[in-house]
Amino acid sequence: MAEYTLKTPLSEEDVRKLKVGDKVTLEGVVFGIRDANLIRMFDGKVPSPVDLTGAACIHTAPNVRKVGEGKYEPVCIGTTTSSRMDRFTPGLMGQYGVRAVIGKAGMMEASMEAMKRYGGCYLAIVGGAAAWETERILEIEGVWWEDLMPEAIWKFQTKNFGPLIVAMDSHGGNLYFDVKAEAASMLPEIFRRIGAE
């Protein structure tokens, strides 16, 4: 299992070399996206107000302090459950050129297919560890769609953002599916032991 430090924006080559289990630390910009802004972008068909080519996007809605018109300071930035956003990954990668999704708990078939086809990856961060994550964010550089607050689109400048674990790669690997299959295979034996066959 390899370890990489990658500078954003990411290239297809950056992402194609990653395999499930590798560790990645990002340097540079990470965009914050999630439910409400993705629903507007894809169901509402309102184009993204910001160029996401090569972007690393994290599933988040932060706690912030407003310090001026369109200016915010981080209070607490952490990561939400990714599975709700599964159906948006093909559009993010195919239409907008996003290369990495950072999240927790993984995504499913639609995202796996998009990662294979366009060259993308899923980088697992530790959910709930928002104090740790906030320490790695230098500043909030931009915000779009403030009417969706806190589910605006955010641009974070980061340093030493990781280590993140490559949990889904562009070769069809999905660590969560492996763990889930293993858990399912344990069930018959567990049922036998506790008298629930």
Partner 1 sequence: MSKIPVSDSFYQAVEELSKDLYVKALKDLPPDVRVVLKDTYEKEETETGRQVLATMLDNIDIADSRNRLICQDTGIPIYFVKVGNQLSVDFVRLEEAVVKGCQRATVEHPLRSSVVSPFKRQNNQNSSGYRIPSINYDVVQDNDKVEILMVPKGSGSENMSFLKMLIPAEGVRGVKRFILETIAQNVGANPCPPYVVGIGIGGTADMCMKLAKIAAVTRPIGARNPDPEMAAFEEEMYNAINDLGIGPMGLGGLKTALAVNVEHAYTHITQNPVAINIQCWPARRAKATISFDGKFEVGY
Residues that bind partner 1 (CB under 8 A): 21, 36, 60-65, 75-81, 83-84, 104-106, 124, 126-135, 149-150, 163, 165, 167, 175-176, 178-180, 182-184, 186-187, 190-191, 193-196
Cβ 107 to partner 1, closest distance in Å?
11
Both structure tokens of 58: 């994290």
Residues 6 or more apart in contact with residue 181 via CB below 8 angstroms: none
Buried b (16+ CB within 10 A) or exposed e, 54-70: bbbbbbbbbebeeeeee
CB of 12 to partner 1, least distance (A): 26
Nearer to partner 1, 21 or 94 (CB): 21
- In the bound state with partner 1, the residue whose beta carbon lies nearer, of 97 and 111, is 111
Comparison of 79 and 111: residue with beta carbon closer to partner 1: 79
- In the complex with partner 1, which residue's Cβ is closer, 53 or 63? 63
Candidates 5, 49, 4, 47; CA nearest to 31 is: 49
Minimum gap (Å) between residue 65 Cβ and partner 1 = 6
- How far apart are alpha carbons 12 and 137 in whole angstroms? 25
Number of other CB atoms surrounding residue 195 within 10 Å? 6
